[in-house]
Structure 1
Amino acid sequence: MARRYGGNPAAVIILIAADIAALILILWIFFFVLDANRANDLVSTVHHAANWLATWSKDMFTVDNAKWRTVLNYGLPAAVYLLVAHAVAGRVNRS
């Protein structure tokens, strides 16, 4: 696993944390787009976690279509977390 993420343990932790954050955000996008039952415990937990992770980007885009709005407002932080984590991990690996 360390080889996939790079050799430095700190870089590995950074990348795994970003992967988990992005996974939660992407899961919520899929749950919302596919009209998952929000009363379900898993869906509810993912929704709450995704809301927290996307606090800074919620309502950044005000598209009329709710599904596109969700894709944009939750997809942006997923991409940002991954891009920033890879940049930071690359920097940590070079140190």
Structure 2
Amino acid sequence: MSIHTRRVGPSTAAIAANVLAVLADVAAAIIGLWIVMYLLDANRANDLVTFLHDASRWLAGWSHDLFTFDEEWARVVCGYGLAAVVYLLIGNLLATRLRRL
């Protein structure tokens, strides 16, 4: 009679799901920080503010000029905010689906 040992630990799908969820959360956090920095009129000459702006513009390239409100702050909040919400929803939804595999 042989004894079978079972390896206990997260599956590859679970690890991939965690990585996907973290990447989606980080992307949304970067965009969210840029929105806050913009609303607080942060110094654009600061390296952190410049990094957040550049990264957010790249991440939200598809949505940052999607809306045409008269007020610039509304365009920033809605355009970049939409991208952050999409990253959160789609990234975490896909991660949940991967965990079920």
Q: Normalising by structure 2, what TM-score? A: 0.85
Q: What is the aligned-residue RMSD (CA, Å)?
A: 1.1
Alpha-carbon distance between aligned partners in 2 of 1:39 and 1:56, rounded to the nearest angstrom: 25
| Structure whose alpha-carbon radius of gyration is higher | 2
Give the SS at the match of 1:8: helix
Q: Which runs of 4+ in 1 moved over 4 A?
A: none
Deviations 1:3-43 (A, max 9, x none): xxxx9111110010001000000000001010000000000
Q: Normalising by structure 1, what TM-score? A: 0.90
Give 5+ residue unaligned stretches, structure 1. 1-6
Alpha-carbon distance between aligned partners in 2 of 1:63 and 1:11, rounded to the nearest angstrom: 37
Residue 25 (1) aligns with residue 31 (2): yes
Greater share of helix: 1
Paired position in structure 2 for 1:69: 75
In the alignment of these two chains, the number of paired residues is 89
Residue 90 of structure 1: how far off its partner (Å):
1.1
Percent identity over the alignment is: 49
Paired position in structure 1 for 2:46: 40
Give 5+ residue unaligned stretches, structure 2. 1-12
Paired position in structure 2 for 1:8: 14
Alpha-carbon distance between aligned partners in 2 of 1:71 and 1:64, rounded to the nearest angstrom: 13
